Amino acid sequence: MAEETIFSKIIRKEIPADVVYQDDLVTAFRDINPRAPSHILIVPNVLIPTINDVTEADEAALGRMVTVAKKLAAEEGIADDGYRLIMNCNTHGGQEVYHIHMHLVGGKPLGPMLLG
Ligand code: AMP
């Protein structure tokens, strides 16, 4: 069994977070250390430690993460100017929390590809 992270506690509402969306498959909340005017994390409700652990059984949640990103980008008012979706994997990818998450980042020109 993979070890739970703080994100599981946020999903279960056991610790405070600025949750902006939740349904049966995913939860979205504002990043505690925003790197842009809009910085939201979208996570599956089930614990998947890294992208390397994803299976076909997770496809519904992963698809939902993208449709929720689109919806939240529109709500944040950043859809037309544009934004970036980022998923980091393991140490070289800069992953810090081992519960997969998609960063929705926008609200300013983001420059070159990498999130510094
Ligand atoms: P990553 O480097 O892709 O694993 O990103 C992890 C992200 O989680 C970072 O941007 C952190 O700022 C964010 N983070 C860590 N703890 C919390 C928390 N309790 N609430 C919201 N965001 C968090």
| Tokens representing residue 50 in the block | 């890294």
pLDDT digits over 35-86, tens only?
Answer: 999 999 999 999 999 999 999 999 999 999 999 999 999 999 999 999 999 9
Substitution site in 33, 42, 86 for ligand 1 pocket (most atoms within 8 Å of beta carbon): 33
Domain spans of the chain, in order of start: 6-106
Q: How far is the CA of 31 from the centre of ligand 1 (A)?
A: 6
Q: Angle CA(64)–CA(65)–CA(70) in degrees, nearest 5?
A: 95
User: Catalytic amino acids?
Assistant: 101
Q: Is the pLDDT of residue 93 over 80?
A: yes
Ligand 1, pocket-test mutation among 13, 86, 96, 100, most atoms within 8 A of CB:
96
- Buried/exposed code over 98-108 (b: 16+ C-beta within 10 A; e: otherwise): bbbbbbbbbbe
High-pLDDT (> 90) share of the chain, %:
94
pLDDT above 70 (res 115): no
Q: Alpha carbon 90 to chain centroid distance?
A: 15
Helix, strand, coil percentages (3-state) for the chain, rounded to 5, are 30, 20, 50
pTM value > 0.95: yes
> What's the pLDDT at 12?
98
Which pLDDT does position 14 carry in this prediction? Answer: 98
Q: How many whole angstroms from 32 Cα to the centroid of ligand 1?
A: 6
Backbone angles phi, psi at 104, to 5 degrees: -105, 115
Q: Which residues line ligand 1 (CB under 6 A)?
A: 6, 17, 29, 31-33, 41, 88, 94-97
Query: Does position 92 have pLDDT exceeding 60, yes or no?
Result: yes
Provide the pLDDT for residue 1: 75
Average model confidence (pLDDT) for the chain? 96
In angstroms, rounded to a whole number, what is the distance separating the alpha carbons of residues 32 and 70? Answer: 21
Arch. (CATH architecture) of 6-106 = 2-Layer Sandwich (3.30)
Token digits for 71?
């919806």
